[in-house]
Structure 1
Amino acid sequence: MADDQEPKAPFTRLPSAYIDRLIPPIARFLHIEAAGGAVLLLFTAAALILSNSDWAHPFLEVWETEIGLHFGEFEFVRSLKEWINDGLMTLFFFLVALELKRELVLGELSKPRMAALSFAAAAGGMLVPALLYLALQWGQPGVAGWGTVMATDTAFVIGCLALLGSRIPPSLRLFMLSLAIVDDIGAILVVAIGYSHELSWGALALAAVSIAAIRAMASLGFRGFPLYFIGGALVWLLVDASGIHATITGVILGLMTPARRWVSDERLYAILSQVVAHPAEELGSGDTRHRQSLLTAEIAARETLSPVERLEMALHPWVVFAILPLFALANAGLSLSFDELDGSISVAVFFGFALGKPIGIMMFSWLAVRTGLATRPPDLSWRLLAGGGLLAGIGFTMALFIANLAFDLSQIDSAKLGILLASVVSATAGIALLLPLPKDEHRPRTKRS
Structure 2
Amino acid sequence: MKITKLFAEFFENEKASGLFLICCTIFSLILANSSFGIDYLHFWHINLAGNSIQYWINDGLMTIFFLLIGLELEREIYQGELSNIKDALLPIFGALGGMLVPAGLFLVLNFGTQTQSGAGIPMATDIAFALAILSLLGNRVPVSLKIFLTALAVIDDLGAILIIAIFYTKTLLWTNLIIAMCVFVILLIFNRLKIRNLIPYIIGGIVMWYFMLHSGVHATITGVLLAFAIPFGNGDKKSTSYILQHFLHKPVAFFILPLFALANTAIVLHSNVAEVLKENYSLGIALGLIIGKPLGIFFVSLLAVSLGICKLPSDLNWKSILAVGFLGGIGFTMSIFITLLAFDTVEIVNNAKFVILLSSLIAGIIGYLSLKLVLKKDVIQN
**What is the rounded CA distance, in whole Å, between the counterparts of 1:104 and 1:221 in structure 2?**
20
Partner of 1:430: 367
Residues 206-245 of structure 1: matches in 2 within 5 Å?
206-245=179-218
Counterpart residue identity of residue 187, structure 1 = A
**What is the rounded CA distance, in whole Å, between the counterparts of 1:190 and 1:318 in structure 2?**
26
Residue of structure 1 aligned with 2:226, choices 227, 249, 253: 253
Q: Report which of the two has the higher share of helix.
A: 2
Residue of structure 1 aligned with 2:252, choices 290, 297, 319: 319
**What is the rounded CA distance, in whole Å, between the counterparts of 1:145 and 1:437 in structure 2?**
33
> SS of the counterpart of 2:218?
coil
Residue of structure 2 aligned with 1:308, choices 241, 266, 273: 241
Partner of 2:103: 130
CA contact (8 A) 1:353 1:422 kept: yes
> SS of the counterpart of 1:109?
coil
> SS of the counterpart of 2:73?
helix
Partner of 2:321: 385
Partner of 1:186: 159
| Alignment of 1:335 onto 2:285 | no
Partner of 2:298: 362
Deviation at 1:203, TM superposition (A): 1.2
> SS of the counterpart of 1:131?
helix
CA contact (8 A) 2:187 2:229 kept: no
Deviation at 1:366, TM superposition (A): 1.1
Deviation at 1:260, TM superposition (A): 2.5
Whichever of the two has the greater Rg, that structure is 1
CA contact (8 A) 1:191 1:245 kept: yes
Residue of structure 2 aligned with 1:152, choices 100, 104, 125: 125
Counterpart residue identity of residue 81, structure 1 = Q
| Alignment of 1:80 onto 2:53 | yes
> SS of the counterpart of 2:347?
coil
CA contact (8 A) 1:258 1:307 kept: yes
CA contact (8 A) 2:201 2:230 kept: no
Count of matched residue pairs: 378
**What is the rounded CA distance, in whole Å, between the counterparts of 1:304 and 1:334 in structure 2?**
42
CA contact (8 A) 2:198 2:240 kept: no
Counterpart residue identity of residue 10, structure 2 = F
Partner of 1:352: 288
**What is the rounded CA distance, in whole Å, between the counterparts of 2:379 and 2:231 in structure 1?**
35
Counterpart residue identity of residue 149, structure 1 = P
4+ runs deviating over 6 angstroms = 442-445
Partner of 1:61: 42
| Alignment of 1:48 onto 2:24 | no
What's the % identity of the aligned pairs?
A: 40
**What is the rounded CA distance, in whole Å, between the counterparts of 1:23 and 1:218 in structure 2?**
25
Counterpart residue identity of residue 356, structure 1 = G
> SS of the counterpart of 1:173?
helix
**What is the rounded CA distance, in whole Å, between the counterparts of 2:268 and 2:243 in structure 1?**
41
Structure 1 stretches of 5 or more lacking a match? 1-18, 69-76, 263-302
CA contact (8 A) 2:98 2:123 kept: yes
CA contact (8 A) 2:237 2:243 kept: no
Seen in structure 2, the aligned counterparts of structure 1 residues 96 and 444 have a Cα distance that, compared at 3 Å, is farther
TM-score by length of 1: 0.81
Structure 2 stretches of 5 or more lacking a match? none
Deviation at 1:196, TM superposition (A): 1.6
Seen in structure 2, the aligned counterparts of structure 1 residues 366 and 443 have a Cα distance that, compared at 3 Å, is farther
> SS of the counterpart of 1:363?
helix
CA contact (8 A) 2:97 2:299 kept: yes
**What is the rounded CA distance, in whole Å, between the counterparts of 1:180 and 1:374 in structure 2?**
18
**What is the rounded CA distance, in whole Å, between the counterparts of 2:160 and 2:220 in structure 1?**
11
Q: Deviations over 1:101-144 (max 9, x none)?
A: 11111112111111111111111111110110111122333222
Q: Deviations over 1:66-105 (max 9, x none)?
A: 222xxxxxxxx32110110011111111111111111111
CA contact (8 A) 2:305 2:311 kept: yes
Alignment RMSD, CA only?
1.9
CA contact (8 A) 1:144 1:406 kept: yes
Residue of structure 2 aligned with 1:115, choices 88, 108, 124: 88
**What is the rounded CA distance, in whole Å, between the counterparts of 1:201 and 1:415 in structure 2?**
32
Q: Deviations over 1:144-164 (max 9, x none)?
A: 211111100001110111101
TM-score by length of 2: 0.94
Partner of 1:414: 351
Deviation at 1:326, TM superposition (A): 0.4
Residues 283-302 of structure 1: matches in 2 within 5 Å?
none
**What is the rounded CA distance, in whole Å, between the counterparts of 1:123 and 1:252 in structure 2?**
22
Deviation at 1:256, TM superposition (A): 3.0
**What is the rounded CA distance, in whole Å, between the counterparts of 2:375 and 2:358 in structure 1?**
29
Partner of 1:31: 12
Deviation at 1:439, TM superposition (A): 5.8
| Alignment of 1:139 onto 2:120 | no
Residues 168-187 of structure 1: matches in 2 within 5 Å?
168-187=141-160
